[in-house]
Structure 1
Amino acid sequence: MTVGMSLELDRVRLSYTGTPVIDGLSLTVRPGEILVLTGPSGCGKSTVLRALAGLLTPDGGRVLADNAEVTTTSGDRGMVFQDNALLPWRTVRSNIELALRLRGEPRATRRGQAEHWIDELGLAGFGNYLPKSLSGGMRQRVQLARGLAGAPRAVMMDEPFGALDTQTRGAMQRLLIDAWRTHPTTIVFVTHDVDEALALGDRIVVLGRAGQPLRAVLEVSEPRTGQPREELRAEIIAALNHTVAA
């Protein structure tokens, strides 16, 4: 069974295309939790994910995974993007098998494991389809399957459901929770949607601007139970409004 890893940002300073977006951010992600990052556009949410994944080197401070400094990418840390990042010339099955190959899974077992993920993520019958033949929701299912198939101990998810309609987004949220419960891992999930944050997160982090990057860290009591959370929702919105006004 996959065991989630701890992640830590220690006084991290980050720039994107030469512009400082995060300055002095310290944050710990607990093993096996779903931590949701939200905040206004341009506050550095996606930049933080890239640093955690090892795709971006900090200008200052340290990024740690299980107390070891992150200096490059690793099969233990996966990434799921909002934009369709599937290889268009590969079938659904082949896209998933690629993640298994990169993980070092023997050729003899890749097909069976890919079929397992195809079934588990509701893709049965679509294994031979190319991405262009799939709906947006189906493509996101393939991305999720590929992201989890390599058995990463942490997955960074950058607004993966942001382009989907409300009904499909809700279905994908439930599918993600089911997959996470079956294959426990640490998830850092970026979203602009407060209700999505409340539906998924153990904790919700509101990021601000570079000069004051951490606006709020909010615990969700009894997460993912579907309970009304109007008070917590109001706290998140207040933190977001304060960030925008600052």
Structure 2
Amino acid sequence: MTTTAPQTGMAFQLNDLVLSYGGKPVIDHLDLQVRPGEILVLTGPSGCGKSTVLRALAGLLRPDAGEVLAEGVPVHTTSRDRALVFQDNALLPWRTVQSNVELALKLAGTPREGRREEALRWIADVGLTGFESYLPKSLSGGMRQRVQLARGLAGAPRAVMMDEPFGALDAQTRSSMQKLLIDTWRAHPTTVVFVTHDVDEALLIGDRIAVLGRAGHPLRALHDVPTPRDSSADRSALRSELIAALDTPELI
């Protein structure tokens, strides 16, 4: 794994947060804390505002009311300390794998003379050595997501927001990417806020899981996940509880 400057996870506080998207209110008075260095999973039914919360954390969406605090400071704009990884292919199609990763390093202020070596280390970390000169169109979906992960983490952000990044992948590739994310997070500690519809993915990845509901019930449940992830701890009861929360009529 790469040996960039040590990261320290960023803490967030959402206080009485109200958010609209496309003129429609989707988050109504949400209170939620994100602990530094944890993986917090946001799940809930379609339209409950999971992705909207991510955009507010990233500084892409201003609250209608309430506040988003990062380390106690209101979030009003984007920052290189906060990265966002999407499900769809957000790579620049005219840039090679290496060039896409180097761009993130450039934006993070890495000196020109160190970018190539650092990019190559990140590319190796995500298992893409040999593909440095490939354009995104020449890569599989899973490989493109590996590049996105490398690019998202290369600038040593203190927080990474991930919007269903593995949702479009086949089961085998998705499992591989989940393991890669956990391994990379362990090697490069940062705060991760991860959106998914998949309860099993939430249980595998998360330290805590927040179940969001409709605007009238912005936070339906908040659960700690048994750790460590590679233990034999029984998560079946929590799985049933999460499924029940997602099936609650009040969410509809």
CA contact (8 A) 2:58 2:82 kept: yes
TM-score by length of 1: 0.98
What is the aligned-residue RMSD (CA, Å)? 0.9
Whether the aligned pair in 2 keeps the contact of 1:36 and 1:197 (CA below 8 Å) is yes
* Selected match of 1:163 from 165, 168, 174: 168
Name segments (4+ residues, structure 1) moved above 4 Å. Answer: 243-246
Is residue 217–residue 251 contact of structure 2 (8 Å, CA) maintained in 1? Answer: no
1:82 to 1:52, Cα distance in 2 relative to 1, 3 A: same
| Matching residue of 2:77 | 72
Q: Percent identity?
A: 70
Q: Distance in 2 between matches of 1:27 and 1:91?
A: 39
CA deviation after TM superposition for structure 1 residue 243, in Å: 5.2
Match of 1:229 among 211, 235, 249: 235
Q: Cα offset for 1:223?
A: 3.9
Decide which moves more: 25-34 or 227-236: 227-236
- The Cα offsets for residues 128-148 of structure 1, whole Å up to 9 and x where unpaired, read as 000000000000000000000
Question: Are 2:121 and 1:116 aligned?
Answer: yes
Q: Distance in 2 between matches of 1:103 and 1:222?
A: 32
Q: Which residue number corresponds to residue 176 of structure 1?
A: 181
Q: Matched residues in 2 for 1:165 and 1:96: separation?
A: 24
> Match of 2:18, as an amino acid?
R
List alignment gaps of at least 5 residues for structure 1.
Answer: none
Residue segments in structure 2 that go unaligned for 5+ positions in a row: 1-5
2:131 equivalent in structure 1: 126
Output the amino acid matched with 1:108: E
1:214 and 1:245, CA in 2 relative to 1: closer, same or farther beyond 3 A? closer
User: Would the aligned equivalents of 2:213 and 2:251 in 1 still touch at CA under 8 Å?
Assistant: no
Q: Secondary structure at the match of 1:236?
A: helix
- 1:52-63 matched pairs, under 5 angstroms: 52-63=57-68
Letter in 2 for 1:233: R
CA distance in 2, matches of 1:243, 1:135: 39
Residue 95 (structure 1) aligns with = 100
Residue in 1 that maps onto 2:47: 42
Q: Distance in 1 between matches of 2:91 and 2:231?
A: 32
| 1:141 maps onto 2:146 in alignment | yes
- Number of paired residues? 246
Give 1:216 shift. Answer: 0.1
Q: What is the SS of the residue equivalent to 2:211? A: strand
Q: Is the 8 A contact 2:55 2:61 kept in 1?
A: yes
Counterpart amino acid of residue 72 in structure 1 = T
TM-score, length of structure 2 as denominator length = 0.96
